[in-house]
Chains A and B, each alone.
Chain A
């Protein structure tokens, strides 16, 4: 691993922490435009909200102390998963970057569920179980989608695929469709924000958090959301990097630009839908995942 690899990976993490709240404001602003209202007054509004929460006193509810560890684990896992992506250069985890990505993504989701269970609040527990059901279905499809994307490049590593992947367009597109759907679900936006479903669960998983703890909770959620957008962006960027030779800083810029674009698309989709129910969401996802997975692997198997 060279210094530049590490520097770009660290830069991606820094950028993720810095711009995820800004992207959240963009998200809010976009929604406001679609709703015919003004929205946040400044692009830094989510940052201001977080800063305000950070300045408040720490109030830990009974059993609330237990949430601190999973809260930290969620943010850390999301950041580690991000560092598995190639930011214009191979990831520090290459060639096992995909394995690490799967592992750390799963850890981020699992620790998010742990926040709910640890808090002991009935709304949080219900939210946690909803997350668990959704993640159980989604993670399987995510692993299959990620693997199918990698297989259709001929290299079981995103970092490797960016340099010497042999892309098979049709399986790649189908695998990408499966993967991007999984990633949208994992971004916990409407209609899949079931763990936090505000009107029913009053913030669900995060309900026991306030002040600085809530600030970290919000950052964790935003980082998970950034991760979902960045992985989708990476899957779009790989063939561009491979065939246009966009590496280094331009590659980093490409990944970042695509991440922002994906985030905006996610925001627009969320603004045009309503919230699902856990039973309906799972059934809908299974009915989409099974045919997409079968199609992707059939295409791969038959060498299309």
Chain B
């Protein structure tokens, strides 16, 4: 490990007695606390409730080839200090690895615990468990992220599997997996009394793409993973690519030319512009105001053309490499960029004013989908969702990276926590992004944009966070030989979806789509079907090919 033995930060003193050892992974930025398994819950409680850290994610790692056991990494962030705290727990058992669950202390750890249970077979004890990521017919004994499972493993096709029982109420309104309010397939079941939503159940992770495993495969090297990372998301792919290369560069101590850092920051802001304008249009459409939808997308189109002008692609820019970027933004491009920014600023002002002044739109945004500050903090939500609920969280300010330390900008924060606040946060962020791009262009230093002279030692470690349009995108990386040994990605939607339950409860059904959309969700690629037997009210999820075939043929 890349470690430095500096003193423990003052902020972490309350839990000092529970820490076996601490290592500065990245001085001033990331500290790893080696904690005995029996002290994990106490440490998590101390960090979350006493010290006031936010929970970012957790990851299980198969470290048997390194020292003979497994490990769990819980990543917390102390925003005020700009400090990532990795709580590292060794698990000596090779056959039935387990760790105590921290979900009672840290509700935000719910999904990632289930995820390491599914993918590595590390059992989080002391909580209810269920499959989260793997399909129901995946063989129980195969844990795909273990190092002895080949990346190309295909499980035998299951022809007959007992359908999983789902649903808690006798009746519900299914929203998804294919639904006009959702622009990606996902599944919500809303339980309603009249028009009021009384509860909600979400089922996601229907197709896990195995990207983390793929990155560890011999088909990939450090640079190729950059392009894989960009394909995690069709809207904010550059965020993932940046978070990944930054993790590699930090872990491997790769020097990155300053100009490349400016270009990356600039493109991240271009991506934020198009993403927020896209969201604004979708929100208007969900509220039945299609004029707002079309005009928001008309303005957005300019940002897409700008992206193409700067990178050669409207989306999936393919600009990043470990050590810098592939293409420079030359001075002769600056006037055109400024012209487009001017047009986008004017257009956004008009469209945003128009949308929020439509009475029906305003009424349906104001006071709906409220997420209280306490709930937002408990669930460690991120991005505009957090900022609209009064949490002043923005990775660009709290954990400065790339060129953000050299620019000044405001972080819009609202206290109402409703759909209108989330809308206004995004609208204000559009203008802030425009100002950031102008400052970056003004201050961009000359020089090279790519350092190709680097060599990365195995066993090094880094945690990076990038502020995506939807919130904080966190990547954990352990270096291997020629490629990552372990790469963990936590997209912002992962942190924000659990907040939908408190947001939707008590709302009218009509406002459910805009409330779901207000977190600007980004889901995986497909879903399974829910079957309701109308005679018995019994629900089941179709999991086998014959079951699907029977239903398809009616």
Contact = CB atoms under 8 A, between A and B. Distances in A.
A194 B287 CA distance: 11
B291 A34 contact: yes
A275 B180 contact: no
B456 interface: no
Contacts of B294: 35-37
A275 B289 contact: yes
B268 interface: no
Nearest to A271: B291
A201 to B, nearest CB: 9
Interface of A: 31, 34-37, 120, 122-123, 126, 190-191, 193-194, 197-200, 202, 271-280
B180 A199 contact: yes
Interface residues of B, number: 33
A273 B358 CA distance: 6
Contacts of A36: 294-295, 298
A202 B509 CA distance: 13
A163 to B, nearest CB: 42
A275 B298 CA distance: 21
B105 interface: no
B174 A191 contact: no
Interface in B146-196: 171, 173-174, 179-181, 195
Given A199-B513, A200-B512, A202-B179, A275 B295 contact: no
Contact of A35 (B295, B359, B509, B510): B295
Given A35-B295, A277-B195, A280-B360, 15 more contacts: A35-B290, A35-B291, A126-B509, A199-B287, A200-B512, A202-B179, A273-B358, A273-B360, A274-B287, A276-B360, A277-B508, A277-B510, A278-B510, A279-B508, A280-B363
A277 B286 CA distance: 12
Contacts of A35: 290-291, 293-295
A116 B331 CA distance: 62
A276 B289 CA distance: 10
Contact of A275 (B181, B288, B508, B512): B288
B64 interface: no
Interface in B502-529: 508-513
B364 interface: yes
A123 B173 contact: yes
Chain A at the B interface: SS class: loop
Given A198-B180, A202-B179, A274 B295 contact: no
Nearest to B173: A122
A274 B361 contact: yes
A194 B274 CA distance: 31
Contacts of B143: none
28 contacts: A35-B290, A35-B295, A36-B294, A122-B173, A123-B173, A126-B173, A190-B288, A191-B288, A191-B360, A193-B288, A198-B180, A199-B285, A200-B181, A200-B512, A271-B290, A271-B291, A273-B358, A273-B360, A274-B292, A274-B360, A274-B364, A275-B288, A276-B360, A277-B363, A277-B364, A277-B510, A277-B511, A279-B508
Contacts of A200: 181, 509-510, 512-513
Given A31-B290, A35-B290, A35-B294, A274 B358 contact: yes
A256 B363 CA distance: 37
Interchain residue pairs A-B with the least CB separation, the first 6: A275-B288, A35-B294, A274-B360, A274-B289, A274-B361, A199-B181
A288 to B, nearest CB: 13
A300 to B, nearest CB: 31
A272 B361 CA distance: 11
Contacts of B363: 276-277, 280
**Which of B290, B293, B510 lies at the interface centre, i.e. has the most chain A CB atoms within 10 A of its CB?**
B510
Interface in B174-233: 174, 179-181, 195
Contacts of B534: 120
A148 B364 CA distance: 34
Contacts of A199: 180-181, 285-288, 513
B177 to A, nearest CB: 12
Contacts of A277: 195, 363-364, 508, 510-511
A289 to B, nearest CB: 18
A279 B507 CA distance: 12
Interface in B260-297: 284-295
B323 to A, nearest CB: 43
B2 to A, nearest CB: 50
Contacts of A197: 288, 510
Given A36-B294, A199-B513, A279-B508, A273 B289 contact: yes
Contacts of A191: 288, 360
Nearest to A276: B360
Contacts of B290: 31, 35, 271
Contacts of B288: 190-191, 193, 197, 199, 273-275
Interface in B276-322: 284-295, 298
A200 B289 CA distance: 14
Nearest to B179: A202
Contacts of A120: 534
A253 to B, nearest CB: 33
B511 to A, nearest CB: 7
Contacts of B179: 202
Given A197-B510, A274-B358, A274-B361, A202 B291 contact: no
Contacts of A202: 179-181
Nearest to A37: B294
